[in-house]
Amino acid sequence: MEATIEVSGLRKRYGSKQALDGMTFTVRPGHVTGFVGPNGAGKSTTMRVVLGLDAPDEGHALVGGRPYASLRTPLRHVGALLDAAALQPGRTGRHHLLWLAHSQGLGARRVDEVLELTGLGPAAHRRAGGYSLGMRQRLGVAAAMLGDPPVLLLDEPFNGLDPEGIVWMRGFLRALAAEGRAVLVSSHLMSELEDTAGHLVVAGRGRVLADTSVADLIARASGGRVRLRTTAREAAMRALAEAGATVTVQDRETLTVDGLAAEQVVRLLTAREVPFAEVAAHRATLEAAYLDLTRDAVEYRGAAR
């Protein structure tokens, strides 16, 4: 079985809302794929279709080349974290994992392994109702890891984690991918995926806006823009505008110049004797690139295809 997730032409309508509108992408093994987009972009719906919980109106989703519903011990093929709050509060964390293990023909030993793996060991015999949100997330990750699956789908795994937990989760996800697993992680906050995701699927309004590596996305979002630091902001803006550039004020001393290369900016300002401290090619943050991309989904419809 291949460690992939293939999503192809998914459409789904809930009443008047088109939740999925041709969602198509493939998740490959070996790196963490971030699945990002604003709330309502169709991320959770896509994941539920992949996991056989919701039926699409059109299209199909395969895990390792097979529909989820055809898997006999699905947790050994796909691990999923959807809703960390989906627990019966009276049951202990360990017992929650135990019935899941039994459903896959696994035993208590595997349960203890994943409890160790996620650092939940000390809380294993406490009722899940008393867990903090972060502990519930860890329990959800433990459940996803029970079958030691080659494919993982995690919906907003950073929710509720403290800073230490976020660091742990990032390292954990990277390590899973490094073992050759396909890891799909959804988030509505791009910053959470910075330094974690190697690949990104950006969704908006039920379809894919961008399916790209992180490096490409940043490069594209950075465009040909130049960052300029100067104490003579007014003079610089006047000179650059006359040369046809678009200038954006970042702060008191910093401007972003669009439409001129760095060398042209240096030549122009030198000729006009406008003092400047620094001229550099602008490098967008992942966050900015993402915001750029999702600000107006329509604009990028062509680019995504």
Partner 1 sequence: MTATAPYRSPLGTAGRDGFARLVHAEWTKFRTAPGGPAGLVLAALLVVGLGLLSAAGSHASCSKGPVEVPCPVPPRGPGGEAVEDHFFFAHQPLRGDGSITVRVSAMSGRIRLPDAVPGVRNVATAMTPWARAGLMIKASTRQGASYAAVMVTAEHGVRMQHDFTEDVAGLPGKVTPSTPRWLRLTRTGDTVTGEESADGVRWTKVAAVRLPGLPAQARVGLFAASPGDVRVTGNAVGGSTVTSRFSEVTAVMDRLDVRGAGTGGAFALDDIGVSYELDGSPHHPGGFRESGGTYTITGVGDIAPLTVGSTVENTLAGAMFALVAVIVVGVLSVTAEYRRGLVRTTLLASPRRGRVLVAKAVVVLAATFAGSLAATAVTLPLAKRVLAGNGVHLLPVSALTELRVVAGVAGVLAVSAVLALAFGALLRRGAAAVIAAVAAVLVPYVLATTSVLPEPVADWLLRVTPAAGFAVQQSIPEYPQVVGHHAPAGGFYPLPPWAGFAVLCGYAALVLALAVRRLNREDA
Taking residues 239 to 268 in sequence order and writing x for each that binds partner 1 by CB under 8 A, - otherwise, the string is ------------------------------
b/e sequence 115-128, b meaning 16+ C-beta within 10 Å: bebbebeebbeebb
Q: How far from 188 is each of 142, 184, 250, 294, CA to CA, in Å?
A: 22, 13, 25, 11
Contact 202, 293 (CB under 8 A): yes
What's the burial of 65, exposed, middle or buried (CB within 10 Å: 0-12/13-18/19+)? exposed
Of 112, 148, 211, 292, the one binding partner 1 (CB under 8 A) is 148
Tell me: does residue 289 bind partner 1 (CB under 8 A).
Answer: no
Q: Which of residues 96-135 bind partner 1 (CB under 8 A)?
A: 96, 98-100, 102-106, 110
CA pair distance 46, 11, nearest whole angstrom: 9
Tell me: does residue 154 bind partner 1 (CB under 8 A).
Answer: no
Of 62, 85, 166, 291, the one binding partner 1 (CB under 8 A) is 85
Of 74, 134, 204, 206, the one binding partner 1 (CB under 8 A) is 74
CA pair distance 35, 204, nearest whole angstrom: 11
To partner 1, the closest distance from the beta carbon of 121 in angstroms equals 18
Stretch touching partner 1 by CB under 8 A, among 71-79, 187-195, 202-210, 227-235: 71-79
CA pair distance 214, 190, nearest whole angstrom: 11
Of 60, 66, 89, 224, the one binding partner 1 (CB under 8 A) is 89
Tell me: does residue 210 bind partner 1 (CB under 8 A).
Answer: no
Tell me: does residue 92 bind partner 1 (CB under 8 A).
Answer: yes
Of 178, 249, 261, 303, the one binding partner 1 (CB under 8 A) is 178
**What token pair was written down for 243?**
């040369």
CA pair distance 275, 296, nearest whole angstrom: 37
Rg (CA), the chain: 24
Tell me: does residue 175 bind partner 1 (CB under 8 A).
Answer: no
Tell me: does residue 197 bind partner 1 (CB under 8 A).
Answer: no
Of 132, 213, 231, 246, the one binding partner 1 (CB under 8 A) is 213
Of 15, 72, 164, 271, the one binding partner 1 (CB under 8 A) is 72
Tell me: does residue 138 bind partner 1 (CB under 8 A).
Answer: no
To partner 1, the closest distance from the beta carbon of 99 in angstroms equals 4
Beta carbons within 8 Å of 217's beta carbon, 6+ residues apart: 200, 202, 210, 286, 289, 290, 293
Q: Which of residues 4-43 bind partner 1 (CB under 8 A)?
A: 28-31
DSSP code at position 291:
H
- Tell me the CB-side half-sphere exposure of residue 265, using CA atoms within 13 A: 29
Residues near partner 1 (CB under 8 A) are 2-3, 28-31, 48, 51-55, 68-76, 80, 82-83, 85-92, 95-96, 98-100, 102-106, 110, 143, 147-150, 177-182, 199, 213
